[in-house]
Amino acid sequence: MNKTRVTVIILFIISGLIVAIGIVGGGPTVKIPADTKPGAEYSQPNEAEITAQTKEMLLSVLKEKYPAGTSARRDAHPLAHGCVRASFQVLPDLPANLAKGVFYKERSYPVWMRLSNGSADPKKDADGDVRGMALKLMGVPGPKLLPDEIYTQDFLLINYPVMPAGSPDEYLALFDAAIHKRPMSYFFGGMPWNWKLGAFQKVLELRGQKVADLLDIDYFSTTPYRLGEQAVKYKLSPCQKKGEYQIPADPTDRFLRDNLQDRLSKESVCMDFYVQLQKDPIAMPVEDAAVRWDEKVSVPIKVARIEIPQQEFNSEKQNQFCEQLSYTPWHSLKEHQPLGGINRVRKAVYSAIAAHRFEQNGVTPAEPFGSERF
Ligand code: HEM
């Protein structure tokens, strides 16, 4: 077969897939009961089992990757660009429905911000990947949902608005296919009308993202959280996009860290933190993290400003401190309780993975307070 014919056939298949995404609707989607109420959660009957299986699978992958005697890293987002100091400044005069939890009144919290690449097997920075932004607010009063940290509130975000698999069973099936080195079987298993084309498209987009400046892009929680009685998602955006950095023509493996350090050695950086209210429990579901909440229907509302001061962050000691932090959406006030199946699974998983890596590395976990300097 000549080259042109192969290209035509490939183009034909790709356009067929795109049309099919439109027709099939891109499933899988979670069935949302017609009478569901705003903010309501409903777990799947076998969720406890799915959670246990997810946890065991992640732990076994981790143990295989980092055998006893080696230094264990995070299962997801192991590659940190750095942990930088910041402050989280709650805006004054928020309306009563938003002035809950850490947003209760105008005040500032110290933050450790961890920036990461998502891939479990670290890729070069120039490769497409999902980027993580984890915020740990410190000095937060009030009872927490997990016992291991007393004064912290964590927010975890990525640079993509949805998860490819929106519920615990779908996440487990996708993960299971991936670790058995047959990821395509998840997307293209069974008859064509059961293919998970929407999830496939999301994975391609999510993992294909190339970035030059980690502080110049939007981040999303993807999953919902409680805010008082309502459900919200979080979003974080640069106060002003600058576009000053490009991916170098001949990039080093870790140029994102260099760009970050270059920028922070010259200036402080400002980002805005938003909440997006759930306006419709069906179109903006709590239990399906694969569904994007339409920003035209519910415009994100600015509730805090994050200031990242000019700084040097790239010392060995600070990087080691960064490695020894643990972030989980369940380091949280009950006013910000994580919602939905994916978040419920994360409760058991993050604690177990962090406990395992700390034990293997002989580290006693210590809650940070924000005054650490290196
Ligand atoms: C069932 C779904 C998920 C599972 C099983 C999972 C698993 C994990 C694990 C095991 C870690 C490493 C934890 C540690 O060792 O400290 C991690 C880190 C992370 N995850 Fe997830 N994750 C899930 C969903 C999500 C979602 C929906 C987001 C969206 C924001 C997310 C964002 C992150 C980020 C940003 C980190 C890095 C945290 C840090 O900097 O320490 N994950 N995830």
- Which of 349, 351, 356 gets mutated to test ligand 1 (max ligand atoms within 8 A of its CB)? 349
Which DSSP state fits 228? T
Atom in ligand 1 nearest the alpha carbon of residue 220? 30
Report how far ligand 1's centroid is from the alpha carbon of 309 (Å): 26
Report how far ligand 1's centroid is from the alpha carbon of 370 (Å): 22
The pLDDT value recorded for residue 11 is 59
Which residues surround ligand 1 with Cβ inside 6 Å? 54, 58, 74-77, 114, 116, 132, 134, 156-158, 163, 171, 221-223, 289, 326-327, 342, 345-346, 349-350, 353-354, 357
Q: Which residue in this structure is represented by tokens 């990242």?
A: 308
Report how far ligand 1's centroid is from the alpha carbon of 157 (Å): 9
- Which of 50, 58, 111, 327 gets mutated to test ligand 1 (max ligand atoms within 8 A of its CB)? 327
- Which of 51, 54, 133, 156 gets mutated to test ligand 1 (max ligand atoms within 8 A of its CB)? 156
Residue nearest to atom 11 of ligand 1 (CA): 76
Instruction: Quick: pLDDT tens for 11-29.
Output: 566 555 555 554 444 556 7
Spatial separation of the C-alpha atoms in residues 235 and 300, rounded to whole Å: 7
Of the candidates 307, 315, 362, 292, the one whose C-alpha atom is nearest the C-alpha of residue 70 is: 362
Which DSSP state fits 15? H
Residue nearest to atom 13 of ligand 1 (CA): 350
The pLDDT value recorded for residue 195 is 92
Atom in ligand 1 nearest the alpha carbon of residue 219? 30
Of the candidates 69, 200, 173, 152, the one whose C-alpha atom is nearest the C-alpha of residue 327 is: 152
Cα 316–Cα 319–Cα 320 angle in degrees, nearest 5? 85
Supply the CATH classification number for the domain 23-360. Answer: 2.40.180.10
- Which of 350, 357, 359 gets mutated to test ligand 1 (max ligand atoms within 8 A of its CB)? 350
Q: What is the number of alpha carbons within 13 Å of residue 19 lying toward its C-beta?
A: 6
Q: Which residues of the chain have pLDDT under 70?
A: 1-2, 4, 6-28
Of the candidates 42, 31, 329, 284, the one whose C-alpha atom is nearest the C-alpha of residue 170 is: 31
Q: Give the residue extent of every domain in the chain.
A: 23-360
Contact 163, 246 (CB under 8 A): no
Residue nearest to atom 17 of ligand 1 (CA): 76
